[in-house]
Amino acid sequence: GPSLIMVLTRWNAIAEWRRLIGTVDPEEARLLSPESIRARFGINILKNAVHGASNTLEASEAISRVFGDDENPENN
């Protein structure tokens, strides 16, 4: 289906995004953070509605794969 790809640039962006999306398992997210994206829209652990990098290296690699090196905030 349709996808929205974002590059978040702010201090502590990865930790803040992961807090907003909730744990990988939507069932667990419904218990621990019921207002999170995965709690609200995730179906199961494979169809959990959203992805977020776990660390800056993973984020940089994903940004480079999707947008090329020119768009990677680490390079600017």
The string of DSSP codes covering 1-29 is ---------STTHHHHHHHHH--SSHHHH
The active-site residue, picked from 19, 34, 35, 51, is 51
C-alpha 74, offset from chain centre: 17
Q: Is 12 annotated as catalytic?
A: no
| Catalytic center residues | 51
